[in-house]
Amino acid sequence: MLGFLKRYARNPAAVVGLLLVLAVIGMALSAPFVFPRDPLSLAGRPLQWPMDNPRFWLGTDNTGRDIAAQIFHGARVSLLIGLVATVIAIAIGIVIGAISGFYGGWVDDVLMRVTEAFQTLPNFILLLVLVAVFGSDITFVTIAIGIVSWPPSARLTRAEFLTLRNREFVQACRVLGMRDAQIIFREILPNALPPVIVYASVIMAVAILLESALAFLNLSDPNVPSWGNLIGAGRGVLRVQWYVSAIPGVVILLTVLGVSLVGQGLNDALNPRLKGR
């Protein structure tokens, strides 16, 4: 464990990523204290440029809401959506991948067909359909993002299971008379998990981007202070007050960058031989 931390800390990019992620987490945690007021309420005169008014150091948007407050509260929304959607996607992926890789045969065929169907369908278009059907409440948007993001993790888990299912320790478990569910989740899964966990960072990055794209199209929940909503709101005043859209975009960029760097750092630290590739 210590060696792992050391390897991680020696990678400057991974450390920068960690700092970025910690900064976003810090923003999310401190939001209710730094900006106790509702970030979606009227705060002052609309469209004040950043630094013009010391009260609004990131300015106000076209409906007079404080941009800095929306950024801080938006961090909570983005992190929450990213985390929950990733957990959903990984959970579905692990179950489907594990069953499919462990049993093989027709079960594998059927499950892989379903996975393929999800992969053939452009995931953003599927997301649009899901939101159209079930509405754009924030809970459902999060679930929908999880639902469209699971196929890669299923394939990854399946590949791991295929290489593990005939190892001696699994055969030993069978001889001991363990039930399939026990073998799958207690014995094989822990060994198959590391690459899937690393891949989770990719899913989380994509989940944050998907939500922001949805919000930009006005199809996400308008009642939460999400970064994508702010970019969408700034679209109307893009010509002159471009900062309304620019600021949240930079924040999304830095967050996604941080998450990807952490994922890459984890990967390098777990597979030291592959570093530099």
Q: Which of 133, 175, 177, 179 binds another protein (CB under 8 A)?
A: 133
Which residue, 178 or 249, has its beta carbon nearer to another protein? Answer: 249
Q: Which of 131, 188, 204, 233 binds another protein (CB under 8 A)?
A: 131
- Chain residues 87-116 in contact with another protein, contact rule CB under 8 A: 113-114, 116
Q: Is 183 in the site for another protein (CB under 8 A)?
A: no
Q: Is 261 in the site for another protein (CB under 8 A)?
A: yes
Which residue, 60 or 255, has its beta carbon nearer to another protein? Answer: 255
Q: Is 62 in the site for another protein (CB under 8 A)?
A: no
State residue 252 phi and psi, 5-degree precision: -60, -45
Q: Is 239 in the site for another protein (CB under 8 A)?
A: yes
What sections of the chain are H helices per DSSP?
2-9, 12-34, 67-103, 105-120, 123-134, 138-149, 151-164, 168-175, 180-182, 189-216, 227-234, 243-270
Q: Is 153 in the site for another protein (CB under 8 A)?
A: no
Helix axes 189-216, 227-234, angle to 10 degrees: 20
Which residue, 13 or 178, has its beta carbon nearer to another protein? Answer: 13
Write 270-277 long-range contacts (CB < 8 A, 24+): 270/4, 270/194, 270/198, 272/7, 275/11
Cβ neighbours, 10 Å, residue 68:
20
Q: Which residues pair with 60 in a beta bridge?
A: 66
Task: Give least dist CB 233 to another protein, A.
Answer: 12
Which residue, 189 or 204, has its beta carbon nearer to another protein? Answer: 204
Which residue, 181 or 238, has its beta carbon nearer to another protein? Answer: 238
Q: What's the rounded Cα separation, in Å, for the pair 23 and 9?
A: 17
Residues that contact another protein, how many (by CB under 8 A): 46
Distances (CA, A) of 157 to 50, 69, 197: 47, 40, 10
Positions in the binding site for another protein (CB under 8 A): 113-114, 116-117, 119-125, 127-135, 205, 209, 212-213, 216-217, 219, 228, 231, 235, 238-239, 242, 245-246, 249, 252-257, 260-261, 276-277
